[in-house]
């Protein structure tokens, strides 16, 4: 294969791969405007005059799932947990890199170990422990998510902090800044690319997570969107596919818009953190 044909071949390959990834989303969007009977019989066809129901699926889905309440709790959990993860892990990464003693290295290793432990190993113990500590609320879930999200966040932040010149901190020290002021006034603004990267990854994970809220939350009072979707199931496993498709579209729109608006920061943050270390 010649040098000119090789880039074209890769372009075609990744274009087809992109279509494969986008197609399920388009399929959900198409079926959200079709009557539930036609979704089951012809899921891959476009809406016709007979099958088109307009916004009926969306209205029914919102009513059946109490969507806006679930949306509110998902937003509270996602925003709060992401903010807590960003604050705690960025400070931890800065301390680990600058202290660089045996304890700091051991702490960093424990964060990395968090990335390889399967969730299934701790899920039953976690459910018991959260009940014991009274963390079965959206605000208690912030702490649970901090534990599970710290591994990846510290890994990315640590690589980025290694690329920050120590001269910046020395200059801040000469100006009379203590460790806290140095971090918030000097280090944190420089870490913006990594913070945006970690924030995007955490938001996409937290918004779509089903298992952890299901295991820890008091479902009589709190439901996130993924949990609310499951309540569209009727007796004997029957599902209102029309309402489900409508709710799924409404659930996907915020995170898709957020990702499209922020995706350029992901590569920038990862590359910046890989410059050194």
Sorting pLDDT into bands at 50, 70 and 90, what band is 274? Answer: very low
Q: What length does the chain have?
A: 277
Look-up of token digits 């880039």: 7
To the nearest whole number, what is the mean pLDDT of the chain?
Answer: 85
- DSSP letter, residue 186: I
- pLDDT score recorded for residue 145: 94
For residue 5, pLDDT over 80 is answered with: no
Sorting pLDDT into bands at 50, 70 and 90, what band is 235? Answer: low
Sorting pLDDT into bands at 50, 70 and 90, what band is 275? Answer: very low
CATH architecture designation of domain 65-273? Orthogonal Bundle (1.10)
- pLDDT score recorded for residue 128: 87
Q: How far apart are CA 249 and CA 251, in angstroms?
A: 5
Q: Which residue has the higher pLDDT, 165 or 232?
A: 165
- pTM here is 0.84
pLDDT digits (tens, 9 = 90+) for 153-170: 999 999 889 888 888 888
Backbone angles phi, psi at 91, to 5 degrees: -65, -40
- 155-168 CB burial, b ≥16 within 10 A, e <16: bbbbbbbebbeeee
Q: Which residue has the higher pLDDT, 108 or 11?
A: 108
Q: Shortest CA distance to 223 belongs to which of 48, 76, 44, 95?
A: 76
For residue 266, pLDDT over 70 is answered with: no
pLDDT digits (tens, 9 = 90+) for 33-78: 988 888 888 888 888 888 888 888 899 888 888 889 999 999 999 9
- pLDDT score recorded for residue 276: 45
Would you kindly state where each structural domain of the chain is located, as residue ranges?
A: 65-273
Q: Tell me how many degrees the CA angle 109-113-118 measures, rounded to the nearest 5.
A: 175
Look-up of token digits 């890989």: 274
Share of the chain above pLDDT 90, in %: 28
Backbone angles phi, psi at 34, to 5 degrees: -110, 150
For residue 32, pLDDT over 50 is answered with: yes
- 18: three-class secondary structure by DSSP: helix
């Amino acid at each position: 294969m010649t040098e000119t044909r090789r880039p074209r071949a890769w372009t075609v390959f990744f274009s087809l791969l992109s279509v494969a990834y986008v197609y399920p989303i388009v399929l959900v969007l198409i079926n959200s405007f079709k009557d539930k009977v036609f979704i089951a019989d012809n899921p891959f066809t476009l809406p016709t005059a007979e099958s088109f129901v307009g916004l009926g699926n969306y209205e029914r889905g919102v009513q059946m799932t109490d969507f806006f309440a679930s949306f509110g709790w998902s937003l509270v959990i996602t925003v709060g947990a992401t903010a807590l993860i960003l604050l705690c892990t960025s400070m931890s990464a800065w301390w680990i890199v600058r202290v660089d003693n045996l304890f700091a290295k051991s702490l960093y290793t424990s964060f990395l170990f968090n990335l390889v432990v399967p969730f299934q190993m701790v899920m039953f113990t976690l459910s018991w422990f959260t009940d014991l500590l009274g963390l079965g609320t959206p605000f208690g879930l912030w702490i649970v998510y901090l534990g599970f999200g710290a591994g990846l966040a510290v890994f990315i932040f640590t690589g980025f902090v290694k690329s920050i010149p120590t001269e910046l901190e020395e200059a801040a020290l000469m100006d009379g800044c203590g460790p806290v002021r140095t971090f918030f006034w000097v280090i944190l603004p420089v870490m913006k690319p990594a913070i945006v990267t970690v924030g995007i990854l955490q938001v996409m994970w937290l918004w779509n997570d089903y298992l952890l809220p299901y295991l820890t939350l008091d479902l009589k009072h709190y439901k996130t969107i993924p949990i609310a979707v499951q309540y569209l199931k009727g007796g004997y496993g029957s599902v209102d596919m029309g309402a489900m498709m409508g709710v799924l579209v409404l659930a996907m729109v915020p995170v898709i818009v957020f990702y499209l608006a922020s995706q350029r920061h992901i590569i920038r943050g990862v590359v910046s953190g890989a410059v050194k270390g």
